[in-house]
Structure 1
Amino acid sequence: MTDAPRRGIRSIRARVTAGALLVVALALGAGAVGTVAIIGQLLLSGVEASVAQDLDSIGERIDHGPFDVGDLDGDVLVRVQGGRPAANDDDAEELPVVPEDAVQRVVVDGDAYLAASDETDAGMLTVARPIAHVDEATATASLVLAVAVPVLLVVIGAVVWVVASRALAPVERMRRQVDDIDGSGLDRRVDPGRDDELGALAATMNRMLDRIEHAQKTQRRFVSDASHELRSPLATIRQHAELAVAHPSATSVEEVGRVVRDEGMRMQELVEGLLLLARLDEGAQAPRAPVDIDDIALAEVRRLRGMGVEVDGHGIGPGRVTGAETLLSGAVRNLVDNAARHASRLVTVRVRTAQPWVLVEVEDDGSGVPENQRERVFERFARLDDARARDEGGSGLGLAIVREVARAHGGDVTVTSGEHGGARFVLRLPAAVAG
């Protein structure tokens, strides 16, 4: 119940609207105060100019001949003090003398005036003009702005709110879409909507969902593969153990130990292969450095010969790639072990550089791989109908690991027919850049 109010208070839309209104309110407030001040100053400046002009013109008329100030307009208060006192209005008689060369604000009978004084032949002349209209104008302007500014703020706030709402609507849509995605619906994606920053955000979220979905599929595949393939060796161990318990004379400790050892090694090989495939599926990057693939191939040739396998390694030439030496060594070993298991007599290993690739070819003289099965042999735990089905000693993961390692290094592996009728596996890896 508390999430919705808290989300409303902290919403970007509310913060944007509040921030915009604060800035606009400060600007409009300062502008309104400045406008009223400028209007008042301009009007006062006009009155001051009129007072100065009246003072000059009336003074000249007094100095140049007889002049009755009582004939002047009553809006202008005129008073002469000194030799020939005179005034054009009863209020004018109350005008004080203002210092010369100055215009001052005076109050006469409760009304405000701007007054100025100057010495003439008839005496001290004081002229004043009312400024009530100035006060009225500034008051009116203040009232208008006091009403207009809040109304304008309300309008601006509404516009900003609507614009922010429309701008953030795709965010709310994406939020709802992402909120509906759970572990069973990772194949769903966010609608980018449009080609802008929010569209880029949606695309980024979709790539993140791709990675999460891929990781989940990898985990499920690992669990499925492990549960399926580990069932057989566990069942074999259990059967021999139950036989030894039920009929001790039907078997021996050595026989049970041999079965447990062989099946345990098989389980270890399966688990290690599955873990390696899981790491490759997740895109794990091992440290990479220049690797001489020909040295790896020569080491495998010596190992097979030590096992009594006839190997032709004359085709091994220089070949350098950039990658993880441990993974590449394992891939080459899987290829040669696969060839050794299926060879009738001879295994051939070649390494050559054909820019921009380094090619590792491993060939046997066995029965080969039918053309319609050449992709299946790289699947995990794939079983063929012929002699290349998984035999004793093979986990069914070797060739799948070779392909994943190759692709992790930017290459691939394929199988074709060899010169002696068997299978030729070609591991293709990007050649290392010189220097």
Structure 2
Amino acid sequence: MRGRTTLGATVVVAVALLVGALSFYGILSASIHGATERAAEQRLEELGERAGGPGGGRGIDALEDEILQVIAPDGSVRAASEEARDKLGSTPLPVDDDPRTTTIDGERVLVVSEDLDRDETLVLAVSMEDDAETLATVATLLAIALPLLLLLVAATTWLVVGRALRPVTRIREEVDGITAERLHQRVPVPETGDEIAALATTMNGMLDRLDAAATAQRRFVSDASHELRSPLATIRQHAELAQAHPEVTSIGELAEIVSEEGLRLQGIVESLLLLARLDEGAGTHDEAVDLDDIALSEVRRLRAAGFEADGTGIHAAQVHADPRLLGQLVRNLADNAARHSRGRVAIGVTPAEGYVFVTVEDDGPGVPVEERERIFERFVRLDEARSRDAGGSGLGLAIARGIAASARGTLAVDDSRWGGARFILTLPLP
């Protein structure tokens, strides 16, 4: 990983340096060429003033270090400097409105021209050898400096990347050794306070969640096994007793016990399957549901069972949800309230500010503050409800919260008006 990172960074830097060098060379070449043109045009203007005066031609003939010609209208050379005569003889320089380059005796020159008053043209050729030498020197320096700079960048990147990725290597090695049996281990967090430290902290948080989930799963499997084993053990115990001592246990008594424990076993299995579907986010059949009808049905059911059920707080409200699951949610809350109450239960439905609040409260012992989240865990029974006959399987509230979450709602518990427990279901209105 370190090698690939260094190579990638080096390639990027190399491309950037190459583009920068070419751009610099191009800009420098254009700048030097422009300066030469301006100097040549300025010199031509000075020589034009001299050539336009009396005896201008003779003044040009006396020039030695410049290639200068006066071209007649017919294209012949009317006057030329000494160097122009030596290198060109009677051959005229090219005349053009714009500066142009040509070669004289193998030397690259820049040719500029200017019209004189006598319909003649003054033409000057300026050597570009100095420009070429300057650019050649710059190109040589760039050719030497770029590889050296690239090597320096590569070495620096190798060292910096190696130092930066060293904590990543330790994290990777530590994570490679973490298995399902070693989820308690954590990766080292470097004291740099940078992104690597943030990555290690995030990874440790992920491991914390995985460890908690694995622990909860193991506890759930253990509790589920215990709950399923209990009715099976009861059925087997009575069956063996009836088989060994048929005169003690009648067929009717055995059938009653098997039926009761079978129903209990069926309820546990169905609850577990429902929880599994809720955990998997299985789709539900959403439709318009009248919450007030569901709540009033539970009030009538509780009254028929002998409870003092108050339904005066039920108001009309309609939500979009799965009617079967929503009915089971309210039924679980009502059964939980009836199981722990001393005789009084109240159910309310109140729409307000885009939400509907369903409350189920009782006059029982209530739920301690420190237990108000734990009671929604699976197979959890508080000390007061340890008996399976009184406390159920410990899945009702877990199912209720799962259904609430699937309906985009929440379920919480606090104190009722009578000091017992009040469960509050919050659902969004359509």
The structural deviation recorded for 1:140 is 2.4
Query: Is the deviation greater in 133-142 or in 43-52?
Result: 43-52
Cα 1:287/1:200, change in 2 over 3 Å: farther
Contact 2:235 2:261 (8 Å CA) reproduced: yes
1:310 partner SS: coil
Q: Contact 2:68/2:125 (CA < 8 Å) preserved in 1? A: yes
Report the CA distance shift for 1:57/1:268 in structure 2 as closer, same or farther (over 3 A): same
How far did 1:223 drift?
A: 0.3
Offset of residue 304 of structure 1: 4.9
Q: Indicate the SS of the match to 2:423.
A: strand
- Which residue of the other structure, out of 381, 389, 392, is the alignment partner of 2:389? 392
* C-alpha distance in 2 between matches for 1:154 and 1:36: 27
Corresponding position: 1:107 with 2:104: yes
Identity %: 35
Distance 1:373 1:38 in 2: 81
CA 209–94 in structure 1, closer or farther in 2 if over 3 Å, else same: same
Between the aligned partners of 1:57 and 1:32, the Cα distance in structure 2 is 38
**Cα distance in 2 for residues equivalent to 1:224 and 1:172:** 38
1:26 aligns to 2:25 (yes or no): no
Alpha carbons 2:337, 2:360 under 8 Å: kept: no
Q: Does 1:360 align with 2:353?
A: no
> For residues 353 and 247 of structure 1, do their structure 2 counterparts lie closer, same or farther at Cα, with a shift above 3 Å needed?
closer
Alpha-carbon separation, structure 1, partners of 2:288 and 2:143: 77
Query: 1:341 offset after TM fit, Å?
Result: 6.0
- Which residue of structure 2 lines up, in the alignment, with residue 222 of structure 1? 220
Which of 419, 423, 430 is the aligned partner of 1:427?
A: 423
Tell me which residue corresponds to 1:137: 134
Which aligned pairs between 1:254-293 and structure 2 lie closer than 5 A?
254-276=252-274, 292-293=290-291
Q: Distance in 1 between matches of 2:47 and 2:31?
A: 24
Distance 1:19 1:316 in 2: 74
Q: TM-score, normalised by structure 2?
A: 0.67
Partner of residue 308, structure 2: 312
Instruction: Tell which deviates more after alignment, 161-170 or 177-186.
Output: 161-170
Deviations 1:162-191 (CA, angstroms, capped at 9, x unpaired):
777788788777656655654332684796
Amino acid at match of 1:107: I
The alpha-carbon distance between structure 1 residues 36 and 305, as it changes in their structure 2 partners (threshold 3 A), is closer
SS in 2 for 1:317: strand
Q: State whether structure 2 residue 91 is matched by structure 1 residue 97.
A: yes
Q: Match of 2:413, as an amino acid?
A: V
Q: Distance in 2 between matches of 1:111 and 1:174?
A: 67
Higher mean Cα deviation, 404-413 or 372-381? Answer: 372-381
Residue type at the aligned position of 1:295: D
State the Cα deviation string for residues 213-268 of structure 1 (Å, max 9, x = none): 55434422320211122222222222233344545555455444433322222222
In the alignment, is the contact (CA less than 8 A) between 2:70 and 2:123 conserved in 1?
yes
What is the distance in 2 between the residues matched to 1:389 and 1:120? 122
Cα gap change, 1:94 to 1:145, in 2 (>3 Å): same
SS of the aligned residue for 1:36 comes to helix
One-letter amino acid of the counterpart of residue 427, structure 1: F
**What code does the residue aligned with 1:361 have?**
E
Q: Spell out, residue by residue over 1:282-315, the C-alpha distance to the aligned partner (whole angstroms, 9 max, x if none).
A: 8889677775554334323444565xx3233454
Aligned length: 408
Cα distance in 1, alignment partners of residues 232 and 194 from structure 2: 56
Change over 3 Å in CA distance of 1:194–1:300 after alignment to 2: farther
Q: Deviations over 1:15-51 (max 9, x none)?
A: 3542343244224213313423442453355346535
Pair 1:58–1:283, CA change in 2 (3 A): same
CA distance in 1, matches of 2:151, 2:243: 90
What secondary structure is seen at the aligned counterpart in 1 of 2:23?
helix
Structure 1 position 350, deviation (Å): 2.3
Q: Determine the structure 1 residue equivalent to 2:28.
A: 35
Distance 1:53 1:339 in 2: 111
The 5 A counterparts of 1:234-249 are: 234-247=232-245
1:141 is matched by which residue type in structure 2? V
Q: Partners in 2 of 1:402 and 1:126 — Cα distance? A: 101
1:324/1:143 CA distance change after superposition, 3 Å: same
* C-alpha contact 1:52 1:116 (8 A) present in aligned 2: no
Aligned to 1:410: 410
- Deviation digits for residues 52-87 of structure 1 (CA, Å, limit 9, x no counterpart): 6446535746348x76946x4x42357899999997
Match of 2:8 in 1: 15
Distance of 1:19 and 1:150 partners within structure 2: 14
The answer for the alignment partner of 1:76 in structure 2 is 66
Superposition RMSD in Å: 5.4
Change (3 A) 1:38 1:168: farther
- Do the aligned residues in 1 keep the contact of 2:271 with 2:399 (CA within 8 Å)? no
Residues 113 and 291 of structure 1: is their aligned pair in 2 closer, same or farther, counting only changes over 3 Å? Answer: closer
Q: What residue in structure 2 maps to residue 348 of structure 1?
A: 344
Unaligned runs of 5+ in 2: none
Equivalent residue letter for 2:142? L
Moved more, 208-217 or 131-140: 208-217
Q: Give the 3 Å change call, closer, same or farther, for CA 153–45 of structure 1 in structure 2.
A: farther
Distance 2:61 2:370 in 1: 124
Native 8 Å contact 1:414 1:425 kept in 2: yes
| 8 A Cα contact 1:417 1:424, kept in partner | yes
